[in-house]
Amino acid sequence: MRRSFLLAITLLLIGLLAACGGKSQEDITSALDKKVEELRGYKVDAKMTIQTGNEPQVYEVEVWHKKPTYYRVMLKNANKDQSQIILRNDEGVFVLTPALNKSFRFQSEWPQNSSQAYLYESLVQDVLHDSDATFQAVENRYVFETKTNYQNSRMLPYQEITFHKKDLSPMSVKVMDVDKNPLVTVEFSNFEANPKFDENAFDMEKNMSNAQVDIPTLAQSDEKPFAVMYPLEEMLPEGVTLTEEKEVKTENGKRVVLTYGGEKSFTLIQERAEVAPVTSSESVSGEPVDLGFTVGVLTDNSISWTYDGVDYMLASNDLTQEEMISVARAVQVQAGK
């Protein structure tokens, strides 16, 4: 009798401890959903580290979001005068390159059309939409592992998303390959909920002129020969190798054409970027694509981007969009031979 009584008391205590213990995965996902729903906007800083290649590349990221659809994302290389701004306002989606005095305008659903590692609401949506997401509470944080919805999700299928326990603000993201090696890491800081924005905070011309104060326009005299960049061989599709390298003289110096063949083929063209004499905005067909080190323009058969004063275009009738993104990422991870 006494033993039965002690057993009942023990079970009762276990039940009480469980009830008073940590919140469940469903509790946290519900709370995240509610927080995003109630947010009118936010500002957050981040450090993004890309691990592909011999040395990690580090970028500063500054994100502003005002509901429902205003965005301003500044990406800046910590070691180079290289910055870009992605803007979304009532006029469309813009990618600004202040150093070249240029902007591209897209009619795009960005950022709704894929995951974005540095956007808080995008990370929460990835948690909510993955029924197989795993969850653990660790000290002062909640950690989820989910599938990704990136434009190259076959190459980067998993991510580990960490939120602060205190206010559910973003703490970090690790985007991982098929072997769960983290290739892209984003560490957040200074999350500010419901900030006040200036009237022209998301205006294209104002952002261009403000950015050029910090990142001056490249001088036209800066036409020194550029180092030719090659994608890492181990990151090329299987059976693809460099078959021809051609250099053509142009008014700007040179244009280099690399031809790759084998199981699949593609062409990679490189030439020094021209600085627009006055701020220019060009409408393009395609989608903005985040390459980590820069933002490019993706179409069915090509991907183009500018980095460190050089224009790149990769064209192929054989590669999938995912493969083109993967090769483009592989170009910037090593110096020219």
User: Do 210 and 245 lie in a common domain?
Assistant: no
Position 170 in a domain: yes
Specify the pLDDT at position 215: 65
The number of domains in the chain is 2
Position 226 in a domain: no
Top mean pLDDT of 48-57, 117-126, 215-224, 328-337 is at 117-126
Position 165 in a domain: yes
User: Do 41 and 146 lie in a common domain?
Assistant: yes
CATH code, 91: 2.50.20.10
Q: Does the pLDDT value for residue 335 go beyond 70? A: no
Specify the pLDDT at position 2: 53
User: Do 185 and 323 lie in a common domain?
Assistant: no
Stretch (H or E) spanning 62: strand 57-66
Q: Does the pLDDT value for residue 77 go beyond 90? A: no
Q: Which two tokens stand for residue 29?
A: 């996902």
Position 290 in a domain: no
CA-to-CA distance for 208 and 224, rounded, in angstroms? Answer: 25
User: Do 58 and 204 lie in a common domain?
Assistant: yes
Q: Does the pLDDT value for residue 263 go beyond 90? A: yes
Range 311-331 average pLDDT: 93
User: Do 123 and 37 lie in a common domain?
Assistant: yes
CA-to-CA distance for 234 and 313, rounded, in angstroms? Answer: 20
CA-to-CA distance for 117 and 146, rounded, in angstroms? Answer: 12
Contact 186, 47 (CB under 8 A): yes
Q: Which residues pair with 143 in a beta bridge?
A: 136, 162
pTM recorded for the entire structure = 0.84
Contact 307, 332 (CB under 8 A): yes
Q: Which of 172-186, 218-232, 234-248, 292-306 comes out lowest in average pLDDT?
A: 218-232
Q: Which of 97-111, 233-247, 259-273 comes out lowest in average pLDDT?
A: 97-111
Q: Does the pLDDT value for residue 11 go beyond 70? A: no
Specify the pLDDT at position 7: 47
Position 210 in a domain: yes
Q: Does the pLDDT value for residue 279 go beyond 90? A: no
The rounded percent of the chain whose pLDDT value lies above 70 is: 85
Position 228 in a domain: no
User: Do 173 and 322 lie in a common domain?
Assistant: no
Position 311 in a domain: yes
Q: Which residue has the tokens 């500044």?
A: 74
Predicted confidence (pLDDT) per residue in 240-253, tens digit: 999 999 999 988 78
User: Do 168 and 209 lie in a common domain?
Assistant: yes
CA-to-CA distance for 113 and 173, rounded, in angstroms? Answer: 19
Residue type, 333: V
Contact 85, 96 (CB under 8 A): yes
DSSP 112: T
Stretch (H or E) spanning 258: strand 253-262
Stretch (H or E) spanning 247: strand 240-250
The rounded percent of the chain whose pLDDT value lies above 90 is: 57
Position 281 in a domain: no
Q: Does the pLDDT value for residue 332 go beyond 90? A: no
User: Do 172 and 98 lie in a common domain?
Assistant: yes
Range 262-289 average pLDDT: 87
Range of the domain at 201: 25-214
Specify the pLDDT at position 20: 41
Range 255-281 average pLDDT: 90
User: Do 100 and 200 lie in a common domain?
Assistant: yes
User: Do 153 and 45 lie in a common domain?
Assistant: yes
DSSP 81: S
Range 162-190 average pLDDT: 95
Specify the pLDDT at position 294: 85
Q: Which of 158-162, 252-256, 318-322 comes out lowest in average pLDDT?
A: 252-256
Top mean pLDDT of 3-17, 120-134, 240-254 is at 120-134
Q: Does the pLDDT value for residue 317 go beyond 90? A: yes
CA-to-CA distance for 105 and 113, rounded, in angstroms? Answer: 16
User: Do 88 and 197 lie in a common domain?
Assistant: yes
Domain end position, chosen among 214, 242, 264: 214
User: Do 163 and 85 lie in a common domain?
Assistant: yes
Specify the pLDDT at position 30: 96
Q: Does the pLDDT value for residue 182 go beyond 50? A: yes
CA-to-CA distance for 92 and 96, rounded, in angstroms? Answer: 13
Specify the pLDDT at position 336: 40
